[in-house]
Chain A
């Protein structure tokens, strides 16, 4: 498993009104096997940060490195986006297969089937995405990221477009899979309750420019397994919001 380290990360977007810093001096350290949540309002640069970490956006200044990786170059990264981003012309099985190879082989086919069982979609392997509910599509996207056996999982508000009941079951699934895989997870969310329920540590991020302003350590204060009904979850989520409140300004968001 791999850890993540960012030093003095800066990202500037150019707009019609000149350059605009979206991330400024972001320092971040995620230990190998740790589950860290980044909590912040829309437009504070959370997605931009994940795009940089995933390698999608190479245009930034500062340092990004991965520690303890089994790969000499870059660890395998699983990225789950806000929307499932499934290929609509491929069946569920083909969508998961897509992550591993261009031409399906029987060996990989068995792995795909096993992941479909893990996310409860074994009977839906030949369905097209438009024949699935949003929750099911998110599960396919999760299986597609996990089949890579990633050392680092980047989750970009993966439950924000789901109804609360489906989101609750998906959170449980993610926790189960994290315990099994022992990978490093960096979750981006604007839901304080979700952040404190899932993470070992919550990093609070403010906008304009996007930067980390506070950290909330949860491991000692909220042991696992956690109960979604635990009152302490509510108190800790309020604490996270209080850390963020002085930095909230309406209309400050530019882009995620």
Chain B
């Protein structure tokens, strides 16, 4: 019997504390830069974290904050879900079929190259200044990126593992679930995080130019009032909500990939 190899994935309490410490340090550095900017440029130009949070609390007490955050979040999640569903389906199909890839190539390249504001303006003009137009535009803007990522994901699949599963006469469903999907998962989660981040930025932009509700609308409102605290307060609130979602996705990804050997052990 060969010697027992060292187990590499079992995380000790020390690793966890170190990881938490580094993350808190990263967060603290953001607050410090913010404080520094506020000190350098003056509180009227860049209000500090305390003034911003105070403004946020006032908005909450006025009953405004959550109304706008929920509307924005709903738009973000809806456009994110439609984008991911469409992008994954088309990306996988394009990755498998060279013919489909060539047929859709012009669309994907155009979708990636077109300025992001264009679909938004065109949809507002064609469909009207409503949520449907905003969501359709956002999906058009984001889908090509998901297609590209998923196509690369499918093409990088280890075909030897699929062959192994076929040699064992495993049903197609099991092969997709247990052999193909785990290989696509890093692409899927990476793309999902990217799309979520882009989705939130684009939704705020869409609200700013064509909606009468949501965080983007509020930012525009306070921009016209020259109220920097309002702009930063809504930006901060939405950033915190999205960061919480992103961190949950990160935690999910760490759990899903716990079998991986930490790269710092080999590089």
Contact = CB atoms under 8 A, between A and B. Distances in A.
A102 B5 contact: no
A82 to B, nearest CB: 9
Contact of B2 (A55, A85, A128, A166): A166
A131 B2 contact: no
B40 to A, nearest CB: 49
A131 B5 contact: yes
B contacts with A: majority SS? loop
Contact of A133 (B5, B9, B161, B169): B5
A105 B161 CA distance: 23
A61 interface: no
- Which of A56, A81, A85, A144 has most B Cβ within 10 Å? A85
B267 interface: no
Contact of B261 (A56, A83, A130): A130
B98 interface: no
A56 B259 contact: no
Given A89-B259, A102-B174, A131 B168 contact: no
A132 interface: yes
Interface string A72-111: 0000010101010101111000000011001000000000
A4 B259 CA distance: 39
B177 interface: yes
B161 A85 contact: yes
Nearest to B163: A56
A166 B174 CA distance: 33
B8 interface: yes
B182 A99 contact: no
A contacts with B: majority SS? loop
A148 interface: yes
- Which of A81, A87, A135, A166 has most B Cβ within 10 Å? A87
A88 B182 CA distance: 10
Nearest to B261: A130
Given A56-B166, A102-B174, A85 B160 contact: yes
B162 to A, nearest CB: 10
B163 A120 contact: no
Given A79-B167, A87-B182, A133-B2, A127 B7 contact: yes
A136 interface: yes
B2 A135 contact: yes
A144 B169 CA distance: 12
B19 interface: no
A114 interface: no
15 contacts: A81-B164, A85-B161, A87-B179, A98-B178, A99-B168, A102-B171, A102-B174, A102-B178, A120-B1, A131-B5, A133-B2, A133-B5, A135-B2, A144-B168, A166-B2
Interface of A: 54-56, 77, 79, 81, 83, 85, 87-90, 98-99, 102, 120, 127-128, 130-133, 135-136, 144-145, 148, 166
